[in-house]
Amino acid sequence: MNRSEDIQAFLSDKIPFHETETLWANGTMPLRVCYFCSDEQPSEQFVTSVRCLVLQNDSVLALRNRKGNHILPGGRREEGESFEQTLRREVAEETGWTVESISRLGFIHLEHLKPKPPGFQFPYPHFFQIVYTACASKHVPDLMCYDDYEEEATFVPISELDALGISEAELGYVRYIKKGI
C-alpha cells in the first residue's frame, strides 16, 4: 500500500463528528479538516502536531489570540520528541500550565486541496494532529513564551464556552468528554 492507501484504510471505519474546509498560510493553502473522537492513533509518520483540552474541575483552559478564542493549545513536534513531550512543552509555552493525567481523546485529519507547494517539507496531502485531554497541574508563568502567538489563557466554566465563540469542532470534543463525566 502507498501512503494515501494506508491513510484511507485507517480512516475507513471512522466517522468524523465535524468536517470543514479552511485556509492556512494567509489564505493560500486550502485544507479539508475532519475531527474524530477515537482511541486509535494514525501512523506516527503522518502526525505533525498535538493538541490538548486542558481541564480543571468543571472548567476548560481557553486561549485568546489575535484571531479569537480556542480551547486546544498545542503545536508542532520537534525532532526526537514523543507526542507527550510535545504536548507538555506546547501547553506550557502557550499557557504557563503543566499538565497531568494525559489521555488520548481523538485526532484531526487534514487534507491539502491544492497541489503540493514547491519545497514543502511536511506530510502531503494528508496529515494529522493528535488530540489529548489532560488535567491542569501547576501554573508556572515563567514557562510561557510571551512573544508567541497566544495572548491569554484562563479557565472558563464549560457552561460558558458557547459565549466565547469557540468553534463547533472544538466544542465537539468538550461534548464528547461531558458524556463521560
Q: Which of 59, 87, 54 is nearest to 71 (CA)?
A: 54
What distance in Å separates the CA atoms of residue 154 and residue 133, rounded to the nearest whole number?
16
Q: Give the per-residue pLDDT at 67.
A: 86
pLDDT for residue 180 is more than 70: no
pLDDT at 179 over 90: no
Residue 63 has pLDDT above 70, yes or no: yes
What is the pTM for the complete model shown? 0.94
92-106 pLDDT, tens digit per residue, is: 999 999 999 999 999
Q: Is 140 helix (H, G, I), strand (E, B) or coil?
A: coil
pLDDT tens digits, residue range 82-136?
Answer: 999 999 999 999 999 999 999 999 999 999 999 998 888 889 999 999 999 999 9
The predicted pLDDT at position 150 comes to 83
Distance CA 126, CA 148 (A): 27
Average pLDDT of the chain, as a whole number: 93
Q: How are the residues of the chain apportioned to helix, strand and coil, as percentages rounded to the nearest 5? A: 25, 40, 30
Fold exhibited by the domain 3-180: Nucleoside Triphosphate Pyrophosphohydrolase (3.90.79)
With pLDDT > 70 as the criterion, what percentage of the chain qualifies? 97
**149-177: burial string, b at 16+ Cβ within 10 Å, e else:** ebeebebbebeebeeeebbebbbbbbebb
Sequence spans of domains, the chain: 3-180
47, 39 contact by CB (below 8 A): no
Q: How confident is the model at residue 147 (pLDDT cuts 50, 70, 90)?
A: low
Write out the DSSP string of 16-81. Answer: -SEEEEEEETTTTEEEEEEEEE-S----GGGEEEEEEEEEETTEEEEEEETTEEES--EEEPPTT-
Are 52 and 97 in contact by the 8 Å Cβ rule? The answer is no
Is residue 146 over pLDDT 80?
no
